[in-house]
Amino acid sequence: MAVARARRVLPFSGWHLLLMPTALLFALPLVWMVLSSFMPAGDINHYPPRFWPSRISFAGYTGLFQDSDILRWLLNTTIVSVIAIVAHLVLCSLAGYGFARLRFVGRGAAFFLIVATIMVPIQLLMIPTFVMFSRLHLTNSLAAAFVPWLASAFGIFLMRQFFLSLPVELEEAALLDGCNRLQVFWRIVLPLAKPALATLAIFTLLGAWNDLIWPLIAINNQDSFTLQLGLANFQGVRRTQWQLLMAGNVVATLPLLIGFVVAQKQFVQTMTFSGLKG
């Protein structure tokens, strides 16, 4: 808290001294990624890597949009991500609320089982998961990419912990007024949980959008390629198409940053009105 006290000697809040350098340090890779995506081939192949382009080149972007299927990949990834977010928001918040507030037989065991599913290293589950999807004829289609993203232990666990930190008074009052649980959940709890829902949405977006190892196993059909899968093919064993890769990475990252800016409005908004009145 010493930073806070620095306010008295500085013309601005001492928090800036912490935040400004941290923010710049954290933004660095993005800055470099953007800069390198505008580098001519000579710069981008240069060793050691350059930070500033010697001149601006759009070759990466023109190549990306003219010679690759980026628009299809973007569409596929968007479909997967939207399905993932909607399903997560509905299913994980319901389950998270159930595990946080409702009492029923087997609750502990069920929740334990869910958390335990993430304790086996995922690398070894890829192949049997593929076998399972293959038997269900789900491979080689977009369904292969989104089915694992319909709900997750992460989402359930996160929402449960958020609901636990919400006050119970309003819910109890509403129950006494004759609301059923679903009404309580919909009218009372969800409005209070906006920051948590925004958090879940942004993490789900991020996970589904950037997922590579599962689509790599599950999808061969080029029509069902996701963005990350398409970008991965710019990198070969012996050769990498750096211009395309960097431009592609910028195109892939931009929607995520926009998504984050939108989601963070939820954090800011609730700051001024406290969630609980009375």
Partner 1 sequence: MTATQVRAPDGLGAGESTPARRRRAKPPRSRRTWREQLTGWGFVLPASVIVVGLSVFPAGWAFVISRQKADLISPAENVGWDNYRLILDDPNALEAAKHTLLFTALFVPTSIVAGILLAVALNRPLRFQWFYRTCIFVPFVASAAATGILANFVFDPTYGIADNLLRVLGLPQQGFLEDPNQAMAVLVLICLWGEVGFNVVIYLAALQSIPNDVVEAAVVDGAGPISVFRYVTMPELAPVTVFTAIWQTITALQLFDLVYTTTKGQPGDATVTIVYYLYRQAFELFHAGYGSALAYCVFAVTMVFTGLLVWYARRSGTEAF
Partner 2 sequence: MRRPSRLTAALAVLALTTLAACSSGSDHSGTTAVTTLDPDKDVTITWWTGQDSEADELLQKLADEYTADHPNVTIDLSPGADTTDDLLQKLQAGFASGDYPDVSYTYGSWASVLGKSGRTLDISDQVAQPDAGWDEFPEAARATATVDGQVIGLPAVVDNLGLIYNTELFDEAGLDYPTDDWTWDDFRAAAKALTDPSKNQFGTAYPTDGGEDTVWRFWPQVWQNGGDVLDDDGMPAFNSQAGVDALEYWRELAVDDQSVYLDQTDQKFEPNFYAGHIGMLISGPWVLYDLKSHKTPYAVAELPGTDGSHQTISGPDLWTLYDHDDSQRAAATFDFINWLTQPAQDVRWNLAYGNLPLRSSAADTPEFAQYGKDYPGADVFFKNLENATTPRPTVVGYTAMSRAVGSAISDVLRGDGDPQDKLDEAADAAKIDLQ
Per-residue contact flags (x/-) with partner 1 for residues 172 to 201, judged by CB under 8 A: x-------xx---x------x--xx-xx--
Picked from partner 2, partner 1, none, the partner binding residue 173 (CB below 5 to 8 A depending on kind) is none
Least distance CB 14 / partner 1 (angstroms) = 10
Cβ contacts of residue 168 below 8 Å, gap of 6+? 101
Distance, CA of 104 to CA of 259 (rounded, Å): 37
Least distance CB 65 / partner 2 (angstroms) = 14
User: Is there binding between residue 86 and partner 1 (CB under 8 A)?
Assistant: no
User: Is there binding between residue 128 and partner 2 (CB under 8 A)?
Assistant: yes
User: Is there binding between residue 135 and partner 2 (CB under 8 A)?
Assistant: yes
Distance, CA of 240 to CA of 44 (rounded, Å): 11
Please count the residues of the chain. 278
Q: Could you give the 3-state DSSP secondary structure of residue 207?
A: helix
SS (H, E, C) 145-193: HHHHHCCCHHHHHHHHHHHHCCCCHHHHHHHHCCCCHHHHHHHHHHHHC
Least distance CB 86 / partner 1 (angstroms) = 13
Distance, CA of 235 to CA of 93 (rounded, Å): 38
Please give the DSSP secondary-structure letter assigned to residue 14: T
Per-residue contact flags (x/-) with partner 1 for residues 132 to 161, judged by CB under 8 A: x--------------xx-xxxxxxxxx-xx
**Near partner 2 in 38-77, by CB under 8 A:** 41, 45-48, 68
Binding site for partner 2 (CB under 8 A): 41, 45-48, 68, 87, 90-91, 126-128, 130-132, 134-136, 139, 147, 150-151, 216-217, 220-222, 230, 232-241
